[in-house]
């Protein structure tokens, strides 16, 4: 009886895994088949023309990279600080659990809520208007939980004997953080950052309210009223006119480039993530 149940469980698990893999492969195959013909050097290096029916996505790609880099710049110190507070400075389990719960809750907040928050606070209250900085700050708020939780898990895996040895040598808490914990846990920062960027790269709602327009922007010239173009918003607008064959081709091409960017970030993060799980199980 037990062997039958084990076999049934293994069969169901294998079936679910195959379905997930088939869906992923099918998604990539469809986007690659429809978008592949549109992607060439000109598509990647030219600017948009004729309301998306001609030209390329150069400034959309540049704008996306600007938003992601600004989000990561803001996110990293905040996420590292939260993780260190949770693992080093909070000694009681109650406050630690509360902080983790808040981060998990923030990680589940829909992107549209972040977009509205950014619109009210950064666009209106701060008076920045649609700006790359507004969008970068909103995306930073979105990915802070991902980076912080990843670093927390990595800090848990640091052997206690390292910390005890450092304390025995006379190092104070701050010195232990800089000399022992952060070097050992840096893989968690890299993994969380890449996974957070992979999530932020595909978000439309947060940036459509705060940072991006469809056409007419190049490099930002300041902070206030300095919007950028972006791939997710470009795809969102073109999808509303996808019955036009010329627009549809550009739509699928942009989707393929965005998918490639997200998959690239996810694949780079995979080795560090697997290493983290292996060390956590030792």
- Tell me the residue range of the domain where 261 lies: 39-280
DSSP 109: S
- What burial class does residue 179 get, using C-beta atoms within 10 Å of its C-beta: 0-12 exposed, 13-18 middle, 19+ buried? middle
Q: Does 23 fall in a domain?
A: no
Dump pLDDT digits (tens) for 53-65: 677 788 889 999 9
Q: Categorise residue 39: left if φ over 0, alpha if ψ from -120 to 50, beta otherwise.
A: beta
> Does 188 reside within a domain?
yes
**Under a CB-based contact definition with an 8 Å cutoff, are residues 253 and 60 in contact?**
no
Distance, in Å, from the CA atom of 58 to the CA atom of 269, rounded to the nearest integer, reads 26
Looking at residue 68, what is its pLDDT?
Answer: 92
In a domain, 251, yes or no: yes
Q: Give, for 51, the enclosing helix (H) or strand (E).
A: none
Query: Given a cut of 80, is residue 49 above it in pLDDT?
Result: no
* Rounded CA separation 241/202 (Å): 20
Q: Of the candidates 194, 161, 189, which has an alpha carbon nearest to the alpha carbon of residue 82?
A: 189
pLDDT digits (tens, 9 = 90+) for 79-127: 998 988 888 787 778 888 888 888 888 888 888 999 999 999 999 998 8
**CA-closest candidate to residue 68, choices 193, 217, 197, 191:** 197
Q: Does residue 9 form part of some domain?
A: no
Asked if residue 34 belongs to a domain, the reply is no
The predicted pLDDT at position 116 comes to 92
Beta strands per DSSP E along the chain: 48-49, 54-55
Helix then strand count (H, E) for the chain reads: 12, 2
pLDDT in tens, 14-33: 888 899 889 988 888 888 88
**55 bridge partner residues:** 48
pLDDT in tens, 172-196: 777 788 888 888 778 778 888 888 8
DSSP state of 47: P
Residue 142: per-residue pLDDT: 92
Answer whether residue 5 is part of any domain: no
Task: Give the C-alpha separation, 169 to 177, whole Å.
Answer: 14
- Helix-strand-coil split of the chain, %, nearest 5: 80, 0, 20
The per-residue pLDDT for 165 is: 82
DSSP 8-state symbol, 172: -
pLDDT at 199: 86
User: Can you give the pLDDT at residue 67?
Assistant: 93
End-to-end CA distance of the chain: 33
d(CA 169, CA 176): 10
Residue 16 included in any domain: no
Q: How many domains does the chain have?
A: 1
- Contact between residue 224 and residue 129 where contact means Cβ atoms under 8 Å apart: yes
pTM of the predicted model as reported, rounded to 2 decimal places: 0.86
Among residues 143, 175, 154, which one has the least CA distance to residue 86? 154
Here the CATH number for the domain that contains residue 75 is 1.10.3720.10
Q: Is residue 15 part of a domain?
A: no
pLDDT score recorded for residue 119: 92
């Amino acid at each position: 009886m037990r062997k039958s149940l084990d076999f049934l469980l293994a069969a169901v698990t294998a079936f679910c895994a195959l379905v997930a893999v088939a869906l992923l492969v099918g998604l990539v195959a469809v986007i690659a088949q429809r978008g592949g013909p549109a992607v060439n050097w000109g598509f990647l290096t030219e600017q948009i023309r004729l309301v998306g029916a001609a030209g390329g996505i150069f400034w959309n790609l540049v704008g996306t990279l600007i938003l992601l880099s600004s989000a990561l710049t803001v996110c990293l110190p905040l996420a590292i600080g939260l993780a260190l507070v949770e693992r080093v400075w909070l000694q009681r389990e109650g406050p630690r659990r509360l902080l983790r719960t808040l981060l998990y809750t923030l990680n589940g907040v829909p992107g549209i809520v972040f977009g509205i928050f950014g619109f009210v606070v950064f666009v209106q209250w701060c008076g920045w208007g649609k700006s790359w900085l507004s969008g970068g700050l909103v995306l930073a708020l979105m990915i802070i939980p991902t980076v912080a939780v990843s670093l927390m898990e990595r800090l848990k895996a640091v052997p206690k004997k390292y910390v005890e040895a450092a304390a025995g040598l006379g190092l104070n808490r701050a010195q232990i953080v800089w000399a022992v914990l952060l070097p050992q846990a840096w893989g968690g920062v890299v993994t969380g950052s890449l996974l957070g960027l992979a999530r932020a790269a595909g978000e439309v709602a947060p940036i459509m309210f705060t940072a991006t327009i469809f056409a007419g922007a190049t490099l930002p010239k300041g902070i206030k009223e300095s919007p950028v173009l972006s791939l997710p918003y470009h795809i969102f607008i073109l999808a509303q006119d996808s019955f036009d064959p010329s627009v549809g081709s550009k739509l699928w091409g942009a989707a393929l480039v965005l998918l490639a960017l997200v998959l690239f970030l996810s694949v780079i993060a995979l080795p560090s993530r697997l290493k983290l799980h292996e060390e956590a199980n030792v």
